[in-house]
Chain A
Amino acid sequence: MITLIDTLYQIIQMALLVALAPLLTGVVRLAKARLTARRGASVFQPYRDLLRLARKEAVVANNASWLFRVTPYMVFTAIWLAAGLVPTFTSALALAPTADLIALVALLGTARFFTALAAMDIGTGFGGLGASREMTIATLAEPAMLMVIFTIAILVHTTSLPQIVDFILVGGVGLRISLAMALVALSMVAIAETGRIPIDNPATHLELTMVHEAMVLEYSGRHLALIEAAGMVRLLLFVSLILCIFIPWGIASPGSGVSLVVLGLVSYPVKLVFSGLLLGAFETSIAKMRVFRYGEFLGGALLLALLAAIFLFVSTGR
């Protein structure tokens, strides 16, 4: 049953996601800059970038079809909607009963599908190259992600994110080997899906190893702003997903008072900033991987998730 207050929380959540996504990216960039002994831009720079791009004129190639124009809106909507399903400050969300983790993966897949189509639409070499690489990564990352979801589903008996959060919050699980392995596997998948080092370098332009940037090379103006914003929201989504499954403390349960919701609203940005610093430190300490090693990296994630599922059967029956 969807109540009015759930709808209100959902609206706050959607607004919060768009408001905080550039901040998270800014924090990661600043952390990386400081760790490499540069001063770095302010954490609010991504907001200014987006604003600047949104004001500029969008240049579209002559042979671009309608698909090329529609894609930025499709991608941003799909990712924004997917992020709206992840509990951030409260698990009482209006959208929660309509979609679970598997639907979330499907939404992300839709966004990726449209990005790849648009990349090939113009017909430049870089677009096709990026699309092919992105799809390779996707075929490797998605089984691992689904395996992680299955592990958690076996453990918690549901694939609905708010129910998972509530179950873990009441202490129904405790420390488990499987959860630790699932955490590592999900982090590896998240790194691949959000295009961070060591899979893809988010700071490159015009390099032969780029993946995501190669696909969106033809975009400009407000289209590019939307694509960039979608990338930031995707990073926020994965960080929030990891936070809400493995560190859910601070998230308000359904039916809790206003003070707990406010606590959730305060603790969520704190957790985000901390994860952003951690991600920045991780990216600084590691080098980008060769394209041919992606299979090993993501295959490792899949096997870890598989191990997590296997270990569930050992720990049952105390």
Chain B
Amino acid sequence: MADFYYDTAHLLGALVLLTSFGLLYQRRLFALLNVFATQAFVLAAAAAWQAFIHGEPHLYITALLALSLKAIVIPVALHRIILRLEIPRAVDSALGVGMTMVIGVSLVTLSILLVMGVTSGAAALTREDLASALSVVLLGLLMMITRRNAVSQVIGFMSLENGLILAAIGVEGMPLVVEMSVAFAVMVAFIVFGIFFFHIRERFDTLDLQNLETFRGEREERPWS
């Protein structure tokens, strides 16, 4: 029976990682949101499962937070933002999907090599969860780097943060305070990004961040020059 507990926890961690790859693969914003909601849902399941097998009730709260905020509130809100701002629904990426996936697999290999080297003495479950969690964090970073659209960058940031929670629930004895603060950090980031969206859009009439790179401050209108 212990084997079954162990295997299921292991599997849920891997599913979170798989959805991270799903995020890298998607090309439409709404599909991206759906995959992100799925990831949050799986994360909530993983947290609830860890709470169950370790008998740590506070992890149920983490699971509930992940489920309510990340799987429902944030995707719905982003959905509405996309509709209201009339953002183009296609994801504009700086690298091809194939190349991104290759880099993603290399990152996973890297994090496995790293975690295996560092935690040779730790319990197998902790070790594997850490490997998955570090991979999810790195894939989130990769997504923020390779996407030009601000909405997909926000999703990359939140999936990175999902990786942090995955690491936190895998380690025994992590106090609830940490998770609460992490959850609030996401909320704050979400609000900040929301305001940020509006500002970018007001100024440049697009959410494509490439326009920021060529921007060199306000310029006076000089039609004759």
Q: Are B102 and A303 in contact (CB under 8 A)?
A: yes
Q: What chain B residues lie within 8 Å of A315 (beta carbons)?
A: 10, 124, 128
Decide yes or no whether A180 CB sits under 8 A from chain B. Answer: yes
Given the interface pairs A175-B7, A314-B112, A317-B124, the reply to whether A180 lies near B15 with Cβ below 8 Å is yes
Given the interface pairs A307-B108, A314-B131, A318-B124, the reply to whether A174 lies near B97 with Cβ below 8 Å is no
Decide yes or no whether B25 CB sits under 8 A from chain A. Answer: yes
Q: What chain A residues lie within 8 Å of B25 (beta carbons)?
A: 296, 300
Q: What chain A residues lie within 8 Å of B21 (beta carbons)?
A: 300, 303-304
What does DSSP make chain B's interface, helix, strand, loop or mixed?
Answer: helix
Q: What chain A residues lie within 8 Å of B18 (beta carbons)?
A: 180-181, 184, 304
- Distance of A174 Cα from B9 Cα, bound (Å): 13
Q: Are B4 and A295 in contact (CB under 8 A)?
A: no
- Distance of A175 Cα from B11 Cα, bound (Å): 7
Given the interface pairs A174-B3, A296-B98, A315-B128, the reply to whether A307 lies near B105 with Cβ below 8 Å is yes
Q: What chain A residues lie within 8 Å of B124 (beta carbons)?
A: 315, 317-318
Residue of B nearest to A315 (CB): B128
Decide yes or no whether A313 CB sits under 8 A from chain B. Answer: yes
Nearest chain A CB to B17 CB, angstrom units = 8
The count of residues in chain B whose C-beta lies closer than 8 Å to any C-beta of chain A is: 27
Encode contact with A along B136-158: 1 for CB under 8 Å, 0 otherwise: 00000000000000000000000
Q: What chain A residues lie within 8 Å of B14 (beta carbons)?
A: 177, 180-181, 311
- Distance of A128 Cα from B155 Cα, bound (Å): 44
Q: Are B112 and A313 in contact (CB under 8 A)?
A: yes
Nearest chain A CB to B163 CB, angstrom units = 16
Q: Are A174 and B4 in contact (CB under 8 A)?
A: yes
Decide yes or no whether B127 CB sits under 8 A from chain A. Answer: yes
A residues neighboring B (CB under 8 Å):
174-177, 180-181, 184, 295-296, 299-300, 303-304, 306-307, 310-311, 313-315, 317-318
Known contacts A304-B21, A306-B105, A310-B105; 14 further A-B pairs (Cβ under 8 A): A175-B7, A177-B14, A180-B14, A181-B18, A296-B98, A300-B101, A303-B102, A307-B105, A310-B109, A310-B112, A313-B112, A314-B112, A314-B116, A314-B131
B residues neighboring A (CB under 8 Å):
3-4, 7-8, 10-11, 13-15, 18, 21, 25, 97-98, 101-102, 104-105, 108-109, 112, 115-116, 124, 127-128, 131
Q: Which 8 A-B pairs have the closest CB atoms?
A: A175-B7, A177-B14, A318-B124, A296-B97, A303-B105, A174-B7, A299-B98, A303-B101
A-B contact pairs, 10 of them (CB 8 A): A175-B4, A296-B101, A300-B21, A306-B105, A307-B105, A310-B108, A310-B109, A310-B112, A314-B127, A318-B124
